[in-house]
Amino acid sequence: MAWFSLPKLRDALFKSRTALSRVEELARERGPLDDAFWEELEETLIAADFGVETTEKILGSLREVARKEFWRTSDQAVARFRTDVAAFMTRPAQALMLKGKPAVVLVVGVNGSGKTTTIGKLAARLTRERKRVLLVAGDTFRAAAAEQLEIWGQRARAEVIRGREGGDPAAVVFDGVTAAKARNYDVCLVDTAGRLQTKINLMEELKKIRRIIGRELPDQPCETLLVLDAATGQNALSQASLFNEATQLTGLVLTKLDGTAKGGIVVAIADRVGIPVKFIGVGERVEQLEPFEPKAFVDALFEA
């Protein structure tokens, strides 16, 4: 499916763009590249959730180029800034890599991040691409998680494997991957519990699930996606670090960018965690999960 048209993406990112509107104003003013300019740009980026470390990295590089190329006005710096931001978010394997049959995609994230909704949207997207999709309700702890996944399964025309509430999630995952293999599914999307009790519990539960998947289907899961609520700002960074330690993340999905997220958190996460952003959620409708394309995102985020 084609990437969002730029006007639609701009509309979806309206609230995210607001926090960064001052950047474009600085470009239009064509002011001098003095200390006042650099200080205001730095303050704007930090306020937009770029974070101190990522902001310093971007501006340090930008100031060096400005000095070497004898830039004089703010529009020159902002034009290069936009290019640098897109580069910061560009990573190898940015697209979803579905290898093997069935290709197993393990989806992790805390409760409230939009994890189950993201699985449903991704299932619908893959179904539109004529893939047979099986959903596995491995979150047995959250009340009504399996029911929510079954609703999405009906929308996406995908079968759902579930167990009893409060049961062993690893057992449900075992049933799911063996069914996916026996019934010749193309893709198996596995939901997991979103509890963040202790780091040790989280790591052990995810490791157990990964061992079961790998035992039944060697070289799987081919993708482990972390769903993050972009509106949580810098807290999303700590979640990304925690989950990356607990399991071998291959990609990120950033949700709720149509809400109160400030946009810069996407840059900070891509920079600090070093894992590609694969999809962004920009609305509640089933089709509003889009493959992440850094340049289109930057164009939509900074254009007035």
Q: What is the pLDDT of residue 4?
A: 52
Please say whether the beta carbons of 22 and 35 come within 8 A. no
Question: 103-302: what CATH class?
Answer: alpha beta
Mean predicted confidence (pLDDT) in 279-290: 82
Mean predicted confidence (pLDDT) in 172-190: 96
Asked if residue 2 has pLDDT above 50, the reply is: no
Angstrom distance (rounded) from CA 157 to CA 37: 53
Comparing 18 with 151, which gets the higher pLDDT? 151
- Candidate from 35-49, 133-147, 197-211, 215-229 with smallest mean pLDDT: 197-211
Looking at the domain that runs over 17-89, which CATH code has it been given? 1.20.120.140
Q: What is the pLDDT of residue 217?
A: 95
Please say whether the beta carbons of 107 and 126 come within 8 A. no
Q: What is the pLDDT of residue 223?
A: 95
Instruction: Quickly list DSSP for 92-155.
Output: TT-S----SSSEEEEEE--TTSSHHHHHHHHHHHHHHTT--EEEEE---SSTTHHHHHHHHHHH
Q: Report the share of the chain in percent with pLDDT over 70.
A: 92
Instruction: Kindly report the pTM of this predicted structure.
Output: 0.87
pLDDT, tens digit (0-9, with 9 covering 90-100), for 14-47: 777 777 888 989 999 999 999 999 999 999 999 8
Mean predicted confidence (pLDDT) in 177-195: 92
Cα 271 to Cα 4, 13, 50, 53: the distances in Å are 24, 20, 10, 9
Q: What is the pLDDT of residue 3?
A: 45
Asked if residue 126 has pLDDT above 90, the reply is: yes
Q: Pick the most confident of 196-205, 223-232, 261-270.
A: 223-232
Sequence spans of domains, the chain: 17-89, 103-302
